[in-house]
Amino acid sequence: MINAKITGVGRYIPEKVYDNAYFESIVDTNDEWITRRTGIKERHVSAPDEFTTDMAIKAAKKAVENAGITAEELDLIILGSVTPDYFTPAGACVVQAALGAVNAAAFDYNAACSGFITGLTIAKQFIENGMYKHVLVVCADVLTKATDYADRSTCILFGDAAGAAVVSASEETGIIAVDIGADGTGATAITQLAYREDAEETEKRVSHNKSSIWMAGQTVMKFAVKAMADASGRVLEKAGLTYDDVALVIPHQANYRIVDAAIKRMGITEDKVFLNLEKYGNTSASCIPSSLAQAVEEGRIKKGDKLILVGFGGGLTWGAALLEW
């Protein structure tokens, strides 16, 4: 039996910071409201000339280096993003060229903020069926470039980041169980239009800019709490384990209230949960891999630890992965 195991992770966080005081200067809001309703204090913002692949390349290089392999050994590069540089080429091809990963196939996919778990699930299939040995899963987003800065209910939430992981064939236990899913009946709860013309969608945006992000905050919140708790429960059930076996849960960092309600539903306490949303906000698909990379850097994870990574996002989608480090 070949196992799929994360062998290296990396993250990239852009330098510029928007704190809550910045939002007080552009919309009718205040630090107290943002802190109490979201838990977010700061978000990092990509430079005007810095885009998804620029950040993805930086996180990917670190992940490959930490995995102790060469870029030529990668068999596949997949990039999850909702803010691509181009419709074509795929951002994964740009990353492939920058890394010199000449033997890797490359494609992009979109599962919004559930992107990293979806990517791990794809990697796990290719590795366990024996087709590939090393798959690079990289998630990057520049949501701040799609943010409606006239909409006080969304503009305060988002930051930019990239996170990456090399998933390799291993004899050791790695990604034990995954659970991904979607509820397309909630598709209009988070939207950002491409070519489609939709007067109703355009009209409901404060800026009337159809390509900016819009969402029904309360609907997403309700979905998120249940989806994360249920998906985590399912991966544990598949593995015949309980939360007592788990050292750390790394959730999607969308809103402290969502995480708090989800972990109460899971029946666990905050000491078992990795949180960094105060500093970075919601960085879309990059949230989970960049948090994982940070947790590794900070020594929060040791060999043999069991982890749950769990998220939700546009689609509406969800995903959870149970792994042994």
Tell me the catalytic residues.
Answer: 113, 252, 282
Instruction: Choose which of 17, 22, 24, 33 interacts with ligand COA (CB under 6 A).
Output: 33
Number of residues that bind ligand COA (CB under 6 A): 21
Q: Which is nearer to ligand COA, 77 or 292 (CB)?
A: 292
Handedness of CA 235, 236, 238, 239 (dihedral sign): positive
Q: Is 220 in the site for ligand COA (CB under 6 A)?
A: yes
Q: Minimal distance in Å, beta carbon 259 to ligand COA?
A: 10
Tell the residue number behind the tokens 């993805």, with chain if given.
Answer: 56
Site membership for ligand COA, residue 217 (CB under 6 A): yes
Position 218 contacts ligand COA (CB under 6 A): yes
Q: In sequence order, which residues have a C-beta less than 8 Å from that of residue 307 and are 6 or more positions away? A: 246, 247, 248, 249, 250, 292, 301, 322, 323, 324, 325
Q: Tell me the C-alpha distance between 73 and 71, whole Å.
A: 5
Contact 107, 92 (CB under 8 A): yes
- At 3, give phi and psi (nearest 5°): -100, 150
Q: Which of residues 180-209 bind ligand COA (CB under 6 A)?
A: 190
Site membership for ligand COA, residue 153 (CB under 6 A): yes
CA gap 11, 165 in Å, rounded: 9
Contact with ligand COA (CB under 6 A): which of 24, 37, 70, 188?
37
State which of residues 152, 204, 226, 238 lies at the interface with ligand COA (CB under 6 A): 152
The mark string for 243-282 relative to ligand COA (x by CB under 6 A, - otherwise) is -----------xx--x-----------------------x
Report how far residue 242's alpha carbon sits from residue 307's, in angstroms, rounded to the nearest whole number: 11
One-letter identity of residue 10: G
Distance in Å, CB of 241 to ligand COA, minimum:
27
Radius of gyration of the chain (CA): 19
By beta carbon distance, the residue nearest ligand COA is: 217
Say how many Å lie between the first and final Cα of the chain, rounded. Answer: 18
Binding site for ligand COA (CB under 6 A): 29, 33-34, 37-38, 113, 152-153, 156, 190, 215, 217-218, 220-221, 224, 254-255, 258, 282, 313
